[in-house]
Amino acid sequence: MGTFAGRPLVVVTNREPYVDETTRTGIRHVQRAGGVVSALDPLLREYGGDWVAWGSGTADRLTAPGGVRPVPLKNPRYRLHRVYLSAEEVQGYYTRFANQGIWPLSHMLIERARFSRRAWSVYRAVNLKFARRVARESRPTALVFSHDYQLALVPSLVRQLRPDLAIAHFWHIPWPVFTVLRLCPQYQEILRGLLGADVLGFQTPDDVESFLTSVQRSFRHVSVDHRRGYIQWQGRTIAVKTFPISVDIAAIEETVATPRVTRWSNGIRRHFARNSRQLGVSVDRADYTKGIIPRLEALHEFFNRYPQHRGQVSFLQVVVPTRSEVSAYRTLFRQVEQETYRINQAFATTDWTPVITIRRSLDRPRLMGLFRAADFGLVSSLFDGMNLVAKEFVSAQIDRRGVLLLSETAGASLELDQALTVSPWDPEGFAQVLDLALSMPLEERRQRMQAMQQHLHQHTLYDWATDILSTLDEMVQNYVES
């Protein structure tokens, strides 16, 4: 199908971009939410190619004869190759090792990390299953673009099976410092897995430096060039670079300007921002790394410390249930409900509710319309590789009325420097910044938003993908020439 730089393109992720579910009335086709999928689906629609991912839908086998599904179903642009996993594989690979082990460790939440040899064995076996599918489906000279912490072993396993393929791997979440990384009993195996790639991409310069240091301190016979970002490993040169992931701002602007989304956005404002009230929004998975509880504590502090805003500010939080098989996530969702109830009990009036919660995901047009409607957006992750919600909020603000409050520990804060930064661990300071945002003159709001939008127009999703894949193509060409 499609090519990049004349080479076939193969994307590999844990989650599939489209899931097919069985309902009473037939099969429902659902587009996945989430940063990785929202970034890569437009990419493959543009270039074409193949996507290998876990087929998790109840109707996935029905819509993918032979494990292959065209995307979209009408006028296909690429092929989705579904890898099917047993309940035991999902539990060991995804729930336990990836999400109870690597995820909390990478987000500096050491006390939450749990590792076991049994889970590691399943994790490795599933990574091998993915690698075999990639090796079977990839045409000669293909560029393989694999992703994230669930598939850390795929690069080396693919290289063993298909040494003719060029491989780039992008690590979307923070890379832990070495003293934290080595708390994972299998950290050296994870490093070896990633070092099978020709290009390794990370969100920030700190992530790159932490990875290079981890490799240098883990292996004796390795050469690491910190200044240029190169590793000499087993006779190969690996490029380790910063590639901050982005969004398709032009597509978002087009979406929020449509009559349908404009009506939706205006309706949100009529309902929640009437009588000169200001509307704030946040959108998160119910994940403890997103700082939802500290944010609610800061909102309580805000209404308590600045009583003039009571009745004048409404906050709409979208909290999407996620990873319900992990008890910590179920507990968090209950805590969000309890903290929201506490705020509303303390401050609500007969005609005003401070915090309103939507407990489900919104489709993408409605989500972008919600961002357009807002007077301020809160992104207060405890620790985040990038956080595309922040970039989507900026992209959707075509009226430029909004102010972005952004955690200083999210990777996006390095680029969106006109946002107001907050510390998720400082509720008094958070409340003070929110008061500042609400009193910011409209002209300053517009200037700040315009500057951030200009940056996103110059650093788009396609620039991100092109930079990584061009670097991979360049590495391969240099290898051939040498």
Mean pLDDT by 10 residues, the chain (482 residues): 74 93 88 72 87 94 92 92 97 96 96 96 98 96 95 98 96 97 98 98 98 97 96 96 95 96 96 91 92 96 97 94 66 90 96 93 92 98 94 98 97 97 96 98 98 97 91 82 59
The CATH number for 3-245+462-477, chosen from 3.30.420.40, 3.90.1170.20, 3.40.50.2000, 3.30.360.10, is 3.40.50.2000
Kind of pairing between the strands at 403-407 and 376-379:
parallel
Q: Is 467 exposed, middle or buried (0-12, 13-18, 19+ CB in 10 A)?
A: middle
For residue 220, give Cα distances in angstroms to 213, 215, 216. 12, 9, 7
Question: Which long-range CB contacts under 8 A does 44-48 form with residues at least 24 apart?
Answer: 44/2, 44/9, 44/11, 44/71, 44/77, 44/78, 45/71, 45/77, 45/78, 46/462, 47/2, 47/3, 47/4, 47/9, 48/1, 48/2, 48/3, 48/9, 48/77, 48/78
Read off the tokens for 102: 């690597």
Same fold, 3-245+462-477 and 249-458: yes
Which helix (H) or strand (E) covers residue 334, if one does? helix 327-347
The tens digit of pLDDT for each residue in 84-128 reads 999 999 999 999 999 999 999 999 999 999 999 999 999 999 999
The tens digit of pLDDT for each residue in 160-201 reads 999 999 999 999 999 999 999 999 999 999 999 999 999 999
List phi, psi (to 5°) of 403: -120, 135
Share of the chain above pLDDT 70, in %: 96
Strand residue runs (E) in 216-367: 223-225, 230-233, 236-242, 278-285, 313-320, 355-358
Cβ atoms 265, 373 nearer than 8 A: yes
Most distant CA pair in the chain: distance in Å? Answer: 75
- Enumerate the domain spans of the chain: 3-245+462-477, 249-458
Cβ atoms 290, 382 nearer than 8 A: yes
CATH architecture of 249-458: 3-Layer(aba) Sandwich (3.40)
For residue 455, give Cα distances in angstroms to 89, 182, 341, 448, 449. 42, 37, 39, 11, 10
The tens digit of pLDDT for each residue in 331-361 reads 888 899 999 999 999 999 999 999 999 988 8
